[in-house]
Amino acid sequence: MELRRAAGPAYHEAFYRRTCRQVHRWKAFVMSDLQIRNLRPEEIAIAVDWAAAEGWNPGLGDAACFATPDAKGFFVGEIDGEPVATVSCVNHDDRFAFLGFYIVRPGFRGAGHGLRIWNAAIAHAGSRVIGLDGVVAQQDNYKKSGFQLAYANIRYGGIIAAPPNPPADIVALDNIPFALVEADDATVFPAARSAFLRAWINTPGHLGAALLRHGRLAAWGVIRPCRAGHKIGPLVADDRAAAEAIVQALLASAGGGDIFLDVPAVNREAIALAESFGLKPVFETARMYTGLIPPLRIDRVFGVTSFELG
């Protein structure tokens, strides 16, 4: 396809250049094959950076943590060596996987690249039940792949001042025997994720807090720095009072500021907690699964760990 330069004012020159770029990309769609491969652990930052550009506000240490449970669970689609699409499908154990980072660069959408890399991710999960937190508007597309809506998650955000002192009965999360944290996490997440939890708790910049009642773990949570502000997650508690104590302790540790909390919409106490701190809804996702998962105590989930890994 040849283009002839049009005589005229400067906007004709701009139109010519823009059209040439469009033709170049059209040729890439029809002449170049999408090559799909695993992202190496040090390359997962590509998907994280794209998620940041899409407004998902990932944590500064997320890439290193995400590689821990399943290093083969991250995929990139390339055309002539240029990344144009990403997706992850992390196998947490032999029964459950979680899908995220499903992104096609804007200039390469509508050419079937998304479907191809999606299918590669789904194949990686094998017979496992798959979960995801998807864009609400795409629910119908996810249903075509066998996903069914479980509930909505809502991201709340706003500015919160740090309290002068944390509650007196809060201890650092890393002072709690990990077996207690691991057992408590099993009540709110469909799979064992020990390696990921260790990485999440111990990553530099991540701060954790816990509350014990009568010798048992009543609440715990982690706050981490993100591209904008800080995000609290997971936040797991027996009740709203315990969750609030953890939030106060985490805010005291992190210094307050822009705070984000991802809340299951079905947990009314969690929503009330977020609103009590003056946080407002930012956006919503659809938590969906391809099959049955073990019964979970969603009433104890006051903050989701991550929209990308569950």
pLDDT, one tens digit per residue, over 194-243 is 999 999 999 999 999 999 999 899 999 999 999 999 999 999 999 999 99
Task: Please give the C-alpha separations between residue 228 and each of 164, 166, 232, 252, 260, in angstroms, as whole numbers.
Answer: 23, 23, 13, 18, 9
pLDDT(2) > 80:
no
Would you say residue 246 has pLDDT above 50? yes
Residue owning tokens 């709110």: 188
Cβ-Cβ contacts under 8 Å for 84 (sequence gap 6 or more): 34, 77, 78, 104, 105, 108, 113
Identify the weakest region by mean pLDDT among 22-26, 58-62, 216-220, 226-230. 22-26
Q: What pLDDT score was predicted for residue 168?
A: 82
pLDDT at 22 over 70: no
Task: Give the residue-averaged pLDDT of 103-127.
Answer: 95
Mean pLDDT of 250-260: 94
Over residues 134-181, the pLDDT tens digits come to 998 899 999 999 999 999 999 999 999 988 887 889 999 999 999 999
More confident residue, 18 or 157: 157
Least confident among 12-16, 67-71, 189-193, 286-290: 12-16
* Residue closest to 69 by CA, chosen among 185, 197, 239: 197
Residue 54 in this model has a pLDDT that exceeds 90: yes
Q: Which residue has the tokens 């009568």?
A: 214
The kind and range of the H/E element at 135 are strand 129-135
User: Which pair of tokens denotes residue 184?
Assistant: 């408590």
- pLDDT > 70? residue 24: no
Q: Which residue has the higher pLDDT, 177 or 8?
A: 177
Closest C-alpha to 196, from 59, 65, 62:
65
The pLDDT value recorded for residue 21 is 54
- Mean of pLDDT values over 274-302: 97
pLDDT value of position 167: 83
Quote the CATH superfamily of domain 35-149. Gcn5-related N-acetyltransferase (GNAT) (3.40.630.30)
Rounded mean pLDDT, 13-35: 54
Within a 10 A sphere around the Cβ of 101, how many other Cβ atoms?
Answer: 29
Looking up tokens 């699964």, which residue turns up? 289
Same fold, 35-149 and 154-303: yes
Structure-block tokens of residue 170: 């809060």
pLDDT at 17: 55
CATH pick for 154-303 out of 2.40.33.10, 3.40.630.90, 3.40.50.300, 3.40.50.2000: 3.40.630.90
Distance from CA of residue 202 to its chain's centroid? 18
Question: Where do the structural domains in the chain lie, given as residue ranges?
Answer: 35-149, 154-303
- Mean pLDDT of the 286-295 span: 97
Over range 9-22, report the average pLDDT: 46
Whether residue 9 is predicted with pLDDT greater than 70 in this model: the reply is: no
Is pLDDT larger for residue 49 or for residue 10? Answer: 49
Return the minimum-mean-pLDDT range out of 25-39, 84-98, 100-114: 25-39
